[in-house]
Chains A and B, each alone.
Chain A
Amino acid sequence: MHNKTIAELAQGLKTGDFSSEELSKSFLQRIKQYDTDLNSFITVSEDHALAQARAADEIISKGNATALTGIPFAQKDIFCTNGIKTTCGSKMLDNFIAPYDATVIHHFNQAGSVMLGKTNMDEFAMGSSNETSFYGGVKNPWDTSTVPGGSSGGSAAAVAARLAPASTGTDTGGSIRQPAALCGLTGLKPTYGRVSRYGMIAFASSLDQAGTFTQTAEDAGLMLNVMAGFDEKDSTSVEQDVPDYTANLNQDLKGLKIGLPKEYFGEGLNADVAKIVEEAITEYKKLGAEIVDISLPNSHLSVPAYYVIAPAECSSNLSRFDGVRFGYRCDDPKDLEDMYKRSRGEGFGDEVKRRIMIGAYALSAGYYDAYYLKAQKIRRLISDDFKAAFEKVDVIMGPTSPEVAFKAGEKSDDPVSMYLSDIYTIATNLAGLPGMSVPCGFSNKMPVGLQLIGNYFDESRLLNVAHQYQQTTDWHKQMPEAYK
Chain B
Amino acid sequence: MEWETVIGLEIHTQLATRSKIFSGAATAYGAEPNTQACAVDLGLPGVLPVLNKDVMRMAVKFGLALGAEIGMTSVFDRKNYFYPDLPKGYQTTQMDYPIVGKGSLTIELEDGSTKVIGVTRAHLEEDAGKSLHEDFQGMTGIDLNRAGTPLLEIVSDPDMSSAKEAVAYMRKMHSLVRYIGISDGNMQEGSFRCDANVSVRPKGQKEFGTRAELKNINSFRFVERAINIEVERQIDLIEAGGEVVQETRLYDSDKNETRSMRSKEEANDYRYFPDPDLLPIKLTQEFVEEIRATLPELPGAKKARFIKSFGLKEEDINTLVTNRETAEYFEVVVEKCGDAKLASNWVVGELSGYLNKEDMDITASPVTADMLALLITRIKDNTISGKIAKQVFEALWKGEGKDADAVIESKGLKQITDTGEIEAIVDEIIAANPEQVEQFKAGKEKVLGFFVGQCMKASKGKANPGQLNQLIRDKLK
Residues of A participating in the B interface, judged by any CB pair closer than 8 Å: 79-80, 86, 88, 93, 96, 98-100, 102, 197-202, 204-206, 232-236, 312-313, 315-316, 318-322, 324-327, 336, 340, 360, 363-365, 368, 372
Name which of A102, A201, A316 has the most chain B CB atoms within 10 A of its CB: A316
Evaluate contact between B80 and A316: CB separation under 8 angstroms.
yes
CA distance A100 to B80 in the complex (A): 26
Across the interface, name the chain A residue whose C-beta is closest to B50: A235
Contact assessment for A236 and B44 in the assembled complex, using a CB-CB cutoff below 8 Å: no
The yes or no answer to B47 lying at the interface (CB within 8 A) is yes
Answer yes or no: B78 CB below 8 A from chain A CBs.
yes
A96, B50: Cβ atoms closer than 8 Å? no
Q: Contacts A205-B276, A235-B279: A98 and B45 contacting too (C-beta < 8 A)?
A: yes
Please provide the chain B residues from 2 to 60 with a CB less than 8 Å away from any CB of chain A in the complex.
39, 42-51
* B51 CB contacts on chain A under 8 angstroms: 235
Does more than half of chain A's interface fall in helix, strand or loop, or is it mixed? Answer: loop
Residue of B with least CB distance to A366: B269
A148 to B272, CA, bound (A): 37
B361 at the interface (CB under 8 A from A): no
Q: Closest residue of chain A to B271, judged by CB?
A: A363
| Cβ B48 vs Cβ A364 within 8 A | no
Bound-complex Cα distance A318 to B89 (A): 8
Q: How far is the CA of A206 from the CA of B274 in the complex (A)?
A: 11
Chain B: CB-nearest residue to A234? B48
Pairwise interchain contact B48-A312, C-beta atoms closer than 8 A: no
Q: Which residues of A contact B279 (CB under 8 A)?
A: 235-236
Give 9 closest A-B pairs by Cβ, nearest first: A319-B89, A205-B276, A363-B271, A206-B276, A320-B43, A199-B46, A201-B45, A201-B46, A80-B46
CA distance A363 to B43 in the complex (A): 21
CB pair B80–A102 under 8 Å, yes or no, is no
Residues of B close to A206: CB separation below 8 A: 276
Alpha-carbon gap, A102 to B46, bound state (A): 8
Known: A100-B39, A316-B90, A319-B89. A235 touches B46 (CB 8 A): no
Tell me whether A322 and B46 are in contact in the complex, defined as CB-CB below 8 angstroms, given that A315-B271, A336-B84, A364-B271 are known contacts.
no
Q: A315-B271, A316-B271 are in contact. List 11 more A-B contacts (CB 8 A).
A: A99-B39, A201-B46, A202-B277, A206-B276, A232-B50, A316-B89, A319-B90, A320-B44, A322-B82, A325-B142, A364-B271
A-B contact pairs, 21 of them (CB 8 A): A99-B39, A100-B44, A102-B46, A198-B46, A201-B46, A202-B46, A233-B47, A234-B48, A235-B49, A235-B277, A236-B278, A236-B279, A313-B273, A320-B43, A322-B82, A324-B84, A324-B87, A325-B87, A325-B142, A363-B273, A364-B269
CB <8 Å contact, A235 and B278: yes
Closest chain-B Cβ to A376's Cβ sits at a distance in Å of 9
Residues facing A in B80-108 (CB within 8 A) are: 80, 82, 84, 87-90
**Chain B residue, CB-CB nearest to A79:** B46
Contact (A236, B277) CB under 8 Å given A316-B89, A322-B82: yes
- Do A100 and B47 touch (CB < 8 A)? yes
Q: Select which of B45, B78, B88, B273 is within 8 A of A93 by beta carbon.
A: B45
B140 closest partner in A (C-beta): A336
Is the beta-carbon distance between B87 and A320 smaller than 8 angstroms?
Answer: yes
User: Which chain A residues lie closer than 8 Å to B44 at the CB level?
Assistant: 98-100, 320, 325-326
**A323 to chain B: closest residue by CB:** B84
Asked whether A320 lies within 8 Å of B89 as measured between CB atoms, the reply is: yes
A325 to B90 alpha-carbon distance, docked (Å): 15
CA distance A206 to B272 in the complex (A): 16
Please tell me if the beta carbons of A197 and B48 are within 8 angstroms of each other in the complex: yes
* Chain A minimum-CB-distance residue to B37: A325
Interface centre among B84, B142, B276 (most CB of A within 10 A): B276
Contacts A206-B276, A236-B276, A324-B142 hold; do A316 and B48 have CB atoms under 8 A apart?
no
Whether B80 contacts A363 by the Cβ 8 Å rule is yes
Name which residue of chain A comes closest to B268, CB basis.
A365
Q: What 1/0 flags go to B98-127 for Cβ under 8 Å of A?
A: 000000000000000000000000000000
Look across to chain B and name the residue whose beta carbon is closest to the beta carbon of A90.
B45
CB within 8 Å for A199 and B43 given contacts A319-B80, A325-B87: no
Contact pick for A340, options B43, B82, B278, CB 8 Å:
B82
With both chains docked as a complex, state the minimum distance between the C-beta of B269 and any C-beta of chain A, in angstroms. 5
Give A79 to B45 CA distance when docked, in angstroms. Answer: 10
